[in-house]
Structure 1
């Protein structure tokens, strides 16, 4: 398709959408797959493309986006925003890398309506990235359920693939999500990334009847590790590194993902469904492990 036509189609989708922002929730399996670093690098890459980006940090703590960027604090700003006293532009400080960050833990957001939480997404941002914190059932927050896409980050390792599948299973039954996007992180070769994605897609289609879309992959290189040691993102610290180029490619392609309707939050999941998910996630995940 001609790029001009593609740009027009994307502009029309944005115009017809409820919000002008593309909202992407990012999560994954075990700690260590790189969800937080993925969000920061994608945000920096998107900002480098001239996009207005807002990162919403639900995972406050030592390894959070806020901590990685030098300690972004904003509980007071969040309460003022949700109360309607200030706008999102004032609540979310802009990092020197060019994107805004809003610390919004699930605890600080509890008690607010979906409409109030939606004010975080109603600003001028072209893209909103949510570093999601799942609850004990593996469910998204009331804010994250207003996203258009759920991006699962995984690695080329049997345990990571198993956990990614279990994560998708729980999210599928909690929120009726029919499609996920998957980013394979820290890969040593394209063939490994393709094999990982194909195996995960096969298991998800067979046991969940859900589809997954390939969001791309990011190379494992010494520059990625060095950037983490420096508390920097590789896109900023080592822009010519293979991993930095991969993040920029994923970010550029993200802008052309089809704009789907926001996820519809489930009202109340039944005890039966929850117990079924809890008991069968590990059983089905064994199949993912065997395919890895």
Structure 2
């Protein structure tokens, strides 16, 4: 009985303390690294674990979240939500697997206030996953800048690690981002994943003084490609495969990540000359990456 009362009290405390969704922005250093598939499969895994998940798709086109899922309709009303013409629940398209998708193309997410963004980020969802898109300067959108965690997806290949480092360096100098989570995708062995993360963390700490947290890894899995051909999530289509197990593990773990303050919604101003100097400062050689 005492344990039941204690559990009820803890649940009440969490409910009263809730100040919005946990927001995770997902991106990577290069195209084709697996950011969108990570977002879709992570959303499906979280929904299976009973979480209310909203996916915000900043990357419209043939390889977007909506396209990957077979072309979801009614997922492009972000601007209408910002203008107060639609509720978030009405605007977001509901996928049969239990998560919602809201497309947010660049022109529809510009010129909005922090209070307008809060309508989306403090809605009913437990977790908001943003498939983040960089602007022409390689910076995050004001929406993605409100995330609590920024997860960089990379692979074991040397070029992918170099690109991930370059991505973190750019975001560090553009937004004063001091912490990143790193997910190693398409991994052949656990040792490879640990080595890739250790190399990247060492370079980042030495040259950028930023902290990296290991978000884990997703195993290389031939069923990933087949799931994409079927417009399905591997978590749903082939739940017993290594990749599906990896996404479910990541979904379970991230629910226990410490809740950090959201990143600043404002992009610090820096003179062009200073930006150039900062971005080229302490540049490691390719062999370090």
**Normalising by structure 1, what TM-score?**
0.90
Cα 1:87–1:39 change in 2 (3 A) is same
Cα distance in 1 between the residues matched to 2:132 and 2:10:
29
Contact 2:24 2:147 in 1 (8 A): yes
Conserved 8 A contact 2:176-2:268: no
Give the aligned partner of residue 120 of structure 1: 120
Task: Mark the CA change 1:7 to 1:133 in structure 2 (over 3 Å): closer, same or farther.
Answer: farther
Distance change >3 Å, CA 187–CA 94, structure 1 → 2:
same
The residue aligned with 1:250 is 250
Q: What RMSD over aligned residues (CA atoms) do the two structures have, in Å?
A: 2.3
Deviation at 1:277, TM superposition (A): 4.4
Deviation at 1:137, TM superposition (A): 2.3
The corresponding residue for 2:130 is 130
Q: Which residue of 2 aligns with 1:182?
A: 182
Question: 219-228 vs 75-84, which deviates more?
Answer: 75-84
Cα distance between partner residues in 1 of 2:156 and 2:31: 14
For 1:240, the equivalent position in structure 2 comes to: 240
Distance change in 2, residues 1:201/1:14 (3 Å): farther
Deviation at 1:260, TM superposition (A): 0.5
Which sits farther off after the overlay, 171-180 or 10-19?
10-19
Alpha-carbon separation, structure 2, partners of 1:266 and 1:108: 19
Change (3 A) 1:169 1:13: farther
Q: 1:246 to 1:220 in 2, by over 3 A?
A: same
SS of structure 1 residue aligned to 2:77: helix
C-alpha change, 1:97 and 1:266, in structure 2 (3 Å) is same
Cross-structure match for 2:51:
51
Counterpart Cα distance in 1 of 2:72 and 2:149: 25
Q: Which blocks of at least 5 consecutive residues in structure 2 are unaligned?
A: 1-5
Instruction: Please identify, of 79-88 and 201-210, the stretch whose mean Cα deviation from structure 2 is larger.
Output: 79-88
Provide Cα deviations, 1:233-290, integer angstroms capped at 9, x if missing partner: 1101100001100100001000000000000122423223322245458x43x3xx41
SS where residue 56 of structure 1 aligns? strand
* Structure holding more helix per residue: 1
Match of 1:276 in 2: 277
CA distance in 2, matches of 1:31, 1:274: 24
CA contact 2:58–2:105 (8 Å) conserved in 1: yes
Q: C-alpha deviations, 1:13-59, integer Å up to 9, x for none?
A: 7744542x100000001111100000000000000000000000000
Distance in 1 of aligned mates of 2:94 and 2:163: 33
TM-score with structure 2 setting the length: 0.91
Could you tell me which residue of structure 2 aligns to residue 166 of structure 1? Answer: 166
Contact 2:75 2:92 in 1 (8 A): no
- Which position in structure 1 is the counterpart of 2:33? 33
